[in-house]
Amino acid sequence: MRKNRSVLIALLTALLFTCGEAYASRLRLNGQVADLSGLKPLAGARVRIYKDGKLWREQGANMLGRYMVLFDNNHDYVVRVDAPGFQGKCFTLETHGPEWQGDRSVSHLDVEIRLPAKEKGIDLSWFDLPLGIAHFEPSTGFTRWNRTYEQNISAATREVMDRYAGYTGPMTLTGAAARMQAKQAHYRL
């Protein structure tokens, strides 16, 4: 009888430790969508998030053009933003990496997306490609951008935007932002 009781206690203890909810640092995207020319918020802009290649969430930007997403760790994401009459843009984010057990912190990443209005005769489909590739490290809470990718697409992006009414703003996700690794950073796309 005593042996059965010890086995039962051991099983219950193991069950408690294996069924408990695991926590780790997660990433929260605070996004803002505006039109490129007047920087007016695009209320109702469509935000689609693909997780591991499948549509995971779809939401609209609020009246200020803002949206928020809390990402799960150890997945690959594509964030696509578009609005009627505007060319959509996207970027990728991967959240793979080791996690600290019990870490409930949330790191913030601010991304501003400026959508160009579609104009007859100007092919803006280049922006169907990701304009940035980000990696979130759950164990540190830092997000870093792939600078090599950015350098590879900058010239082609500039060429497209030169045809778009002489635009002179940032070309890539990190083009106008400080290039730093931080728990909270702001990037413009």
DSSP string, 88-126: EEEEEEE--S---TT---EEEEEEEEEEPBP-TT---GG
- Whether 7 shows a pLDDT value over 50: the answer reads no
Q: How many residues does the chain have?
A: 189
Strands 142-145 and 130-137: antiparallel
User: Does the predicted TM-score (pTM) go above 0.85?
Assistant: no
* pLDDT tens per residue, range 59-98: 999 999 999 999 999 999 999 999 999 999 999 999 999 9
Residue with tokens 């409930």: 104
pLDDT of res. 176: 34
- In contact, 35 and 1? CB cutoff 8 Å: no
Strands of the sheet containing 86-94, edge to edge, are: 54-60, 46-51, 76-83, 86-94, 130-137, 142-145
> For the chain, what are the domain ranges?
21-188
Superfamily of 21-188 according to CATH: Carboxypeptidase-like, regulatory domain (2.60.40.1120)
pLDDT of res. 178: 32
How would residue 175 be classed by pLDDT, with cut points 50, 70 and 90?
Answer: very low
Helix, strand, coil percent content, the chain, rounded in steps of 5: 20, 40, 40
